[in-house]
Amino acid sequence: MVWLFALTLFVSALLLFLVQPLIARMLLPLLGGTPAVWNTCLFFFQAVLLAGYGYAHLTSKWLNWRRQAALHSVLLASAALSLPLAVPERWLSALHPQSSPALWLLGCLTLAVGLPFFAVSTSGPLLQRWFSQTRHDSAGDPYFLYAASNLGSLTALLGYPLLIEPRLRLSAQSAGWGFGYFVLALLVMACALALWRKANDRPPTAAADETEQPSAEQDSPPNAAQRLRWVALAFAPTSLMYGVTTYLTTDLAAVPMLWVLPLALYLLSFIIVFARRRALRLTLLNLALPLLAIVLVFLILTKLPRPLWLLGGLHLLFLFFAATVCHGRLAEERPAARHLTEYYLWLSLAGALAGLFNTLIAPLIFQTVVEYPLSIVLVLLLRPAEKSAVPQQSWRVMLGPLGAGALTAVLAISLPRLGVPTMIAVVLALVLPLLLSYAWTRQPLRFAVAIGAIILGSSFFQTLYYGQTLLVERGFFGVLRVARDASGTYQQLFHGNTSHGRQFLDPQRQCEPLSYYHRRGPLGQIFATFSQQTTSSQVAAVGLGAGAMVCYATAEQRWSFYEIDPAVAQLADDERYFRYLRHCAAAPVQTVLGDARLQLRHAARGQYGLLVLDAFSSDAIPTHLLTREAFTLYLDKLADGGLLVLHTSNQFLDLRPVVADLAQDAKLTGLVRTDLEASDDPQDQGKESSQWMVLARSAAQLDALQQDKRWQPLPQRSAPQVWTDDYSNILGVFKWQ
């Protein structure tokens, strides 16, 4: 019987966490691939999970198990009517460029998957409650089944990017999920039958193993303080998981595959702490956590970009240690089985609150991603104190930790004025305060305050990194920053830590395209080639940035920029920040708001002689713009003799084989130039390294570029793996070095 309940919980959790990347994958083509899509989806699922746990708690409280089983059967049957999973077509018309993407996404998720997910989400606490009412020896402490549930969740999260996404199309994934739902319904009925045969009408007896017997404190109803502690211990690691996800996919690599890794480690911590035998000693993790926090805070504040495997690994390791420590305290405080559903309800409430805070509230009240360091400090505050630590109540004990933050601020201000180079100044301003904070690692409150104060003091580093910050704006698509460099030469636009364009402040030079768009770079050659061809004079660019590309416009042309982020469009058109659009465009220019995949449909067939794909989510092109369906759309809007241009600069992904396979599939010819040239030539001032590809229907269209050896043919493969809206393989193009 234990195996039946464990298997049912495993399948239930498997379905719960397969549907999350599945439905997010369906929605990516509509919202530009931003990490906020995943975080909003995650919040939705946690909110529905809270509703499911509330259903399990209330029905367990008001109904006996027979009536509860009958009601649950009706729920499962009703939810099956909304299968298969799909994004409702009628909901697409409700997506407007000026509307709130988060609210639209939540509504779409409710229609697409709300009822089936709710039905499946009830299984965890409900089945554990049913098991506690049997006569099995372990019925008194059924929490070990929670480990089986989280094992199913972990299997789904790791299996999706490694096995399912590379092999199955979305339609097959949806059909497979529907079949799994049918299997789950049969297993739930089998559990109800097993309960009917072995039900214990009396309250569950104590477990046979004395080490698993609930204490008198556990058996008593939870009080308000205990409930609050449960919420805090569940809220902190959940908020930390959101923060790690945002950081990894914005500041390190905008790779959707990375979305599942923080959630997978978060679930693994539950498996460990609720297992009958723990694989890790929580005391060792608790000792290691502050040391790991010191290293992590140093790396975050110094903004080191490489190596990816080390930086990403440390963020994920801290999340795993922190979640295991917090969840370990939750496991130790679990109540008797008769309070099981209430216990899980409070845990799910904390998860929903964390999702609400990180997804909806934090972007409104914080200009930058402050919630990540806040969650780090909160986790450090909640870690258990060492038994040998002597508590100190006086406010004076906080002077030392606060002084560490003040020291950070003083060093950050004074060292650059003394002529210390930027990176050395940052390191020196952090090393001493962080070393001082180590003295308080045995006292969670003092150590957490010290780390928080150091993070706050490091805000003076912003001038060192970006120069004089003129504007910081945060929205659904990320954090935008406009800054002036320390020399007063450029104005620059950042998304996260990635530059999205710069402009000379000198009025005599402000119409020179800089950074990736420099005239002496690949794009300058492409426009020179385009100017020699007789085709449509209309130009489309997917992605606006600061608007530097418009410097190539000529009087006989018409330009259209397709930009998904309204905030970017406003900044590019604001003369206080950038003047490309207002002063450098020799041709009429329009900006079309919304995702290019949706908005390009309205363009006339063969309208554009040049179509430039320059859309980036931080450091990567959203994957839905690199699929067969996307290329079919581009070519439909491209005139005969037109050129399709792609900006594929990326630190972590090699997109050449992806574009080459798409070109081969569409019978296009193409060239690629990776411009890594560093030059002291004054003519190269403001130029950055970049990689550009140009595709055409005929090789003759690219003759001028082929004469330059820096342009290389796209690689050809005997068995191309063409990305589609149903299929992509991020692992295959990841730069592991």
Q: What is the pLDDT of residue 286?
A: 84
Nearest alpha-carbon partner for 646 in 634, 636, 633: 634
Query: Rounded to the nearest 5°, which phi and psi values hold at 636?
Result: -65, -30
Does the pLDDT value for residue 208 go beyond 60?
no
How far is Cα 69 from Cα 189, in angstroms, rounded to an integer? 8
Q: Compute how many other C-beta atoms are within 10 angstroms of the C-beta atom of residue 532.
A: 9
Q: What is the pLDDT of residue 203?
A: 45
**What are 674-716's pLDDT values in tens digits?**
998 667 777 888 888 899 999 999 999 999 999 999 999 998 8
- The mean pLDDT of 542-552, rounded to a whole number, is 93
- The mean pLDDT of 235-239, rounded to a whole number, is 94
Range from 95-104, 367-376, 469-478 that averages highest in pLDDT: 367-376
Read off the DSSP letter of residue 366: -
Does the pLDDT value for residue 342 go beyond 70?
yes
User: How far are the Cα atoms of 28, 249, 359 from residue 496, in angstroms, in the given order?
Assistant: 20, 10, 17
How far is Cα 674 from Cα 126, in angstroms, rounded to an integer? 57
- The mean pLDDT of 139-168, rounded to a whole number, is 79
Does the pLDDT value for residue 435 go beyond 70?
yes
Does the pLDDT value for residue 623 go beyond 60?
yes
The rounded percent of the chain whose pLDDT value lies above 90 is 33
The half-sphere exposure of 568 on its side-chain side, counting CA atoms within 13 A, is 32
Residue span(s) of the chain under CATH 3.40.50.150 come to 513-733
Question: Residue 494: beta bridge partners?
Answer: 481, 499
Q: Which two tokens stand for residue 262?
A: 């923080």
Residue span(s) of the chain under CATH 1.20.1250.20 come to 2-382
Query: Rounded to the nearest 5°, which phi and psi values hold at 289?
Result: -60, -50
Nearest alpha-carbon partner for 625 in 169, 87, 29, 101: 29
Does the pLDDT value for residue 172 go beyond 60?
yes
Q: Compute how many other C-beta atoms are within 10 angstroms of the C-beta atom of residue 588.
A: 11
Q: What is the pLDDT of residue 693?
A: 95
**b/e per residue, 3-26, with b = 16+ CB within 10 A?**
eebbbbbbbbbbbbbbbbbbbbbb
Read off the DSSP letter of residue 604: P
**What are 182-192's pLDDT values in tens digits?**
999 999 888 88
Split at pLDDT 50, 70, 90, the class of 466 is low
Nearest alpha-carbon partner for 110 in 39, 50, 47: 47
Cα 626 to chain centroid distance, Å, stands at: 19
Does the pLDDT value for residue 194 go beyond 90?
no
**What are 42-84's pLDDT values in tens digits?**
888 888 989 988 998 888 888 887 888 888 888 989 988 888 8
Q: Into which CATH architecture does domain 2-382 fall?
A: Up-down Bundle (1.20)
Does the pLDDT value for residue 214 go beyond 60?
no
Instruction: State the distance between the two ends of the chain, measured CA to CA, in whole angstroms.
Output: 49
The rounded percent of the chain whose pLDDT value lies above 70 is 87
Q: Which two tokens stand for residue 686?
A: 């403001």
- Within 394-521, strands assigned E span 468-475, 478-484, 490-495, 498-504
424 Cβ contact partners less than 8 Å away, ≥ 6 residues apart? 415
Contact 52, 347 (CB under 8 A): no
Contact 158, 19 (CB under 8 A): no
Does the pLDDT value for residue 15 go beyond 80?
yes
How far is Cα 334 from Cα 500, in angstroms, rounded to an integer? 49
Range from 19-33, 154-168, 238-252, 620-634 that averages highest in pLDDT: 620-634
Does the pLDDT value for residue 442 go beyond 90?
no
Split at pLDDT 50, 70, 90, the class of 97 is low
How far is Cα 401 from Cα 413, in angstroms, rounded to an integer? 19
Q: Which has more pLDDT, 330 or 214?
A: 330
How far is Cα 329 from Cα 289, in angstroms, rounded to an integer? 15
Does the pLDDT value for residue 489 go beyond 80?
yes
Quick one: which H or E segment has residue 343? helix 340-356
Tell me the pairing of strands 468-475 and 478-484. Answer: antiparallel
| Collapsed DSSP state (helix, strand, coil) of residue 210 | helix
Q: What is the pLDDT of residue 254?
A: 53
- The mean pLDDT of 578-600, rounded to a whole number, is 90
Single pTM value for the model: 0.77
Contact 26, 87 (CB under 8 A): yes
Task: Report domain 513-733's class.
Answer: alpha beta
The alpha helices in 199-277, defined as continuous H runs, are 216-219, 224-247, 260-274
Q: What is the pLDDT of residue 638?
A: 95
Mean pLDDT of the chain: 83
Cβ burial, residue 212 (10 Å; 0-12/13-18/19+): middle
Q: What is the pLDDT of residue 392?
A: 55
